[in-house]
Structure 1
Amino acid sequence: MKTAKFGGSSLASAEQIRKVCDIITADSARRLIIVSAPGKRNADDTKVTDLLIQAAEARLTHQEGVTQLGRVEARFSQIAEGLDLTSSDLAPIIEDLRERLQADTTDTALYMDTMKAAGEANCARLTAAFLRHQGVDAHFVDPAEAGMILSDEPGNARVLRPSYGRLRALRDRSGILIFPGFFGYTEAGRLVTFPRGGSDITGAILAAAVDAELYENFTDVDSVFVASPRLVENPVAVSEITYREMRELSYAGFSVFHDEALEPVVRAGIPVAVKNTNNPAAPGTRIVPQRVVGEIPVVG
């Protein structure tokens, strides 16, 4: 079983989600899929998570937040239409968004987490629905039901050790499993989120829990580079890198994903592949426990 995580830019539109689903179905071993919330479609766009935060902040400052939430509903509606989904696919998503907006605001941190997590949860529902419409045996997985148990630290939660045993049961499920990233539940049943970028953490936890043969992290770059492409023209692409070298690049600010997101797969010794959703044929970068040192050092 391979575990594959897709970032927000990979899920920003119906066109992108179609690409993602093509990638998923191209390899029968890709059965546990982690999705982020829809990201930016262009430089001037706003991520769905940021729209949700705006809606939550409006509600917490004694505004209704309906106008702000309407932008989120419009994004999901546009994606659903582009995927040729039905009103019965979209209706539960709109209902979920509105219920979250009206949730109890007594604990503002928990309320913010409830709102922020709506992007991942409903993107997972849309992705699973589209795959089913394509005749694929696909299932949305509820993190609470699956056993993603986290510490009671809203916005900064950590996975608890019992989660791994519970999540391991996902190996035995049939079909393609679509799992929302970024959040889980406390032992008391409260929704809490990882730090921002937490879908990477979810992906690594699940890869370790099911003892995946490979954890694929799909993003919008062809590989890991020794310097940021935004700062250096034609930086050297890295075909293979160790966990330690990846951490050093992370400290330098060039990481593709959060450094702490590697910890579960490092402990489990699971290789990671960084791939580009928009260019899946590119070799990407493989992150491994150890490698044969070549002529070009990754860091030095």
Structure 2
Amino acid sequence: MKVVKFGGSSVASPEQFQKVANIVLADRKRKFIIVSAPGKRHDVDRKMTDLLIQLADSVAEGRDDSAAFASVMERYQEIVTGLSLEKLFVSEIQRNLQETIARYRHDRKRLMDSLKASGEDNNARLMAAYITTLGQEAYYVSPKEAGMVVTNEPGNARILPEAFERIGTSLKNREGILVIPGFFGYSKEGHIVTFPRGGSDITGSIIAAGVEAEEYENFTDVDSIYSVNPKLVRNPAEIKELTYREMRELAYAGFSVFHDEALQPVFHKKIPVCVKNTNHPEAPGTSIVSAREPNGYPVVGIASDKGFCSINITKYLMNRELGFGRRLLEILEDEHISYEHTPSGIDNISVIVRAHQLENGKEERILQRICTELLVDEVHVERNLGMVMVVGEGMAKTVGIAAKAANALAEAGINIKMINQGSSEVSMMFGVDDYQVNEALTALYHAFF
């Protein structure tokens, strides 16, 4: 059995629905189908999820929501008409949206989650109906029926451990093609709760782990995963195969083709993932596996991200002070701030965090506590940092990777503000000024490829 997930661009229009159905019916093993909400049909189009967020904001703020509501319905009308489905579907979608708005009008978080989830939910219903019109046995399965039990934090769902057994029990022995909406589950309290954006990847991975699929196929709009952002480098190298660890590092650092939280369920079950193109399904795509044979290239990919800042702390004899690091991280924990990296020296330490986490007065409180509780000599925040990651399992057995990277950045006139490498040696991170991130990424790509 295979679990197959189709992203927003793959289900954005009637024509894309037809491509998806052809792909599903071309392989009898493709039994579990996960769909996103309709994505962009062209570059200046808007995603359905963004339209639904606009609708939720209009309702919550008491503004006229008729235009936003009409924009949502127009997209569904186009799909229903283009696929020659019964017009009844449009009326049902409209009624369900109206009932959701009436139920949660005065609960903004639940309203937002329920309306966002409706994009995937309605698309799954339409996909199951369309495949049925082609003479195939297909069924819509709600996440509740499938066993997707999640935590109860709106917009930030986490799958509960017992869900995997429930999913296997619910789905494994069912007949026909099962179409399941991505992006959300149900809490024990019965609420719809969405995963973070990109959460349909997470749903697909969870279902694959739950039914113990032989493969999880993730269809998107590119032939494969590339070694670098193709918007920055012309004709970049395609990655034919990479490991879970390599994909995790690249996804963390900005590779948008696969959500970085989506690998965990399949990683634990060692289920291979294949990223393929809905518009070019015959292309082999990129395989993500637990281990791979060396291919002669120590680096598999280079990625970058912006929006970081560094809390830089200096204290004489810091290295001899027991518990200093623990107390520092407790201050961040008290403010619900997660850290990304902690490069350090004998008398200094830097904590790298996402800049948005220091908003709403948190920065001032943190700096005050560091000064008064840790009695440091100096503390300041350095802003506008970007991170460039060089990733590859082969780096651990290759001499001179750091030197090669440093030379490439030096020749491009880029000042390295920080270097960090984990003990696994799967990745090496370079901190640079964020305005030089793209230039740094390009320089490193040409050095290694």
Indicate the TM-score class for this superposition, using the shorter chain for normalisation. over 0.9
Alignment partner of 1:175 is 2:176: yes
Contact persistence 1:241–1:291 (CA under 8 A):
yes
Task: Provide the C-alpha distance between the structure 1 equivalents of 2:249 and 2:199, rounded to a whole number of angstroms.
Answer: 20
Question: What's 1:6 paired with?
Answer: 6
| Aligned-partner SS, 2:262 | helix
Which structure has the larger Rg over C-alpha atoms? 2
Maintained 8 Å contact 1:105/1:111: yes
- The CA distance in 1 between the partners of 2:34 and 2:135, in whole Å, is 20
Residue 255 and residue 104 in structure 1: after superposition, are their counterparts in 2 closer, same or farther (change >3 A)? closer
Aligned to 2:257: 256
Question: 1:126-173 CA distances to partner (integer Å, 9 max, x unpaired)?
Answer: 101101111110000011122111101100010001111111020110
Query: How far 1:248 moved relative to its partner?
Result: 1.9
Tell me the residue number matched to 1:243: 244
Cα 1:110–1:267 shift into 2, 3 Å: same
Amino acid paired to 2:53: I
How far, CA to CA, are the matches of 1:10 and 1:81 in structure 2?
Answer: 18
Counterpart of 1:70 in structure 2 is: 70
1:259 alignment partner, SS class: coil
Match of 2:277 in 1: 276
SS in 2 for 1:44: coil
Shift of 1:255: 4.2
Per-residue CA deviation, residues 228-277 of structure 1 (Å, 9 max, x unaligned), is 11111111001110011111212331241111110000011000000000
The reply on whether 1:40 has 2:40 as its aligned counterpart is: yes
Alignment of 1:1-300 (within 5 A): 1-169=1-169, 170-297=171-298, 298=300, 299-300=391-392
Contact 1:246/1:255, CA 8 A, preserved across alignment: no
**Secondary structure of the corresponding residue to residue 286 of structure 1:** strand
Give the residue type in structure 1 aligned to 2:182.
Answer: G
Tell me the SS of whatever aligns to 1:167: helix
CA contact (8 A) 1:55 1:101 kept: no
What is the distance in 2 between the residues matched to 1:132 and 1:18? 12
CA–CA distance in structure 2, aligned partners of residues 232 and 201 of structure 1? 29
Tell which deviates more after alignment, 93-102 or 219-228. Answer: 93-102
Long gaps (5+) in structure 2: 301-390, 393-449
Which residue identity is paired with 1:261? A
Higher alpha-carbon deviation: 123-132 or 97-106: 97-106
Partners of 2:282 and 2:245 lie apart in 1 by: 26
What CA distance in whole angstroms lies between the structure 2 residues aligned with 1:209 and 1:86? 33
Q: Deviation digits for residues 212-234 of structure 1, max 9, x if unmatched? A: 00000000000011101111111
| TM norm structure 2 | 0.66
| TM-score between both structures, scaled by the size of structure 1 | 0.98
What 5-or-longer segments of structure 1 have no aligned partner? none
Q: Which has the higher contact order (CA 8 A, sep 6+)?
A: 1
CA contact (8 A) 2:60 2:106 kept: no
Query: Partners of 2:211 and 2:268 in 1: how far apart?
Result: 13
Q: Percent identity?
A: 54
RMSD across aligned C-alpha pairs, in angstroms? 1.1
**Does the 8 A contact of 2:104 with 2:110 survive in 1?**
no
Q: Which residue type is aligned with residue 13 of structure 2?
A: S
Quote the Cα distance in structure 1 between the aligned partners of 2:147 and 2:190: 11
Whether contact under 8 Å (1:224, 1:255) holds in the other structure is no
Report deviation, 1:111.
1.2
How many residue pairs get aligned? The number is 300
Q: Is the 8 A contact 1:65 1:101 kept in 2?
A: no
- Shift of the 62–255 alpha-carbon distance from structure 1 to 2, 3 Å rule, reads closer
How many angstroms apart in 2 are the aligned matches of 1:31 and 1:208?
14
Q: Could you tell me how far 1:207 is from its partner in structure 2?
A: 0.3
CA distance in 1, matches of 2:261, 2:3: 18
Please list every run of at least 4 consecutive aligned residues from structure 1 whose deviation after the TM superposition is greater than 6 angstroms: none
